[in-house]
Amino acid sequence: MTHDLVDSLGPLLTAEAAAEAQASGAEPGDLEQAVWLRLLERLRTEGPPSDPHRWLRRAVRTEARRARRTTRRERPYASEPAGAAEHDPAQLVLAAARHRALRDAVRRLPGRCPRLIGALLSPRDLTYREIAGELGISQGNLGPERSRCLGCLRRLLTPEVAARRGRG
């Protein structure tokens, strides 16, 4: 049943996501992946929709609206964060040490994470499409993979950046 539902909805989802993506500022693959997740959640909690095609169209529009809201709220930095322009030698040494610790931690990450985080930190400022092509993974999987890798990186760095307190 579920396999038939996926097979029948696949082409419609691809077409609907492509139609809504341009106006929402999202990638069609991202919209598709979000709708598939919504469908899985629904199948687990409520079962299949009574009118799957209608449900799918509504789900795509809902995800497109969510993407538009997110795009409207995101703002690029107008300038570097406060203190970044410091030229104090002590601050420069500390910044270099932090960068070294970050690079060392990235190298210790498992699987594809070192390449993914390296691409995200690249001075070439690669787009998600370019990173996905460089790593040979789908663009829709890049966000979840990035989250997993950042979680691993956070766990590696936590002991190194934890505040050291005196005992007793």
CATH number of 134's domain: 1.10.10.10
Q: Provide the domain limits for residue 19.
A: 2-71
Identify residue 57 by its one-letter amino acid code: R
Residue entry with tokens 């049943």:
1
Q: 9 and 63 share a domain?
A: yes
How many domains, the chain?
Answer: 2
Q: 57 and 100 share a domain?
A: no
Residue 3: CA atoms inside 13 Å, Cβ hemisphere, count? 0
Q: 64 and 117 share a domain?
A: no
Q: Distance between CA atoms of 11 and 133, rounded to whole angstroms?
A: 23
Residue 25 domain-assigned (yes or no): yes
pTM of this structure: 0.45
DSSP track, 12-30? HHHHHHHHHHHHHTS-HHH
User: pLDDT tens digits for the chain (168 residues)?
Assistant: 567 777 888 899 889 998 888 877 788 888 899 999 999 888 889 988 899 999 999 999 999 998 888 877 777 666 555 655 566 787 788 888 888 888 898 999 999 899 999 998 888 888 888 998 888 888 888 888 999 999 888 888 876 555 455 554
Contact 38, 30 (CB under 8 A): no
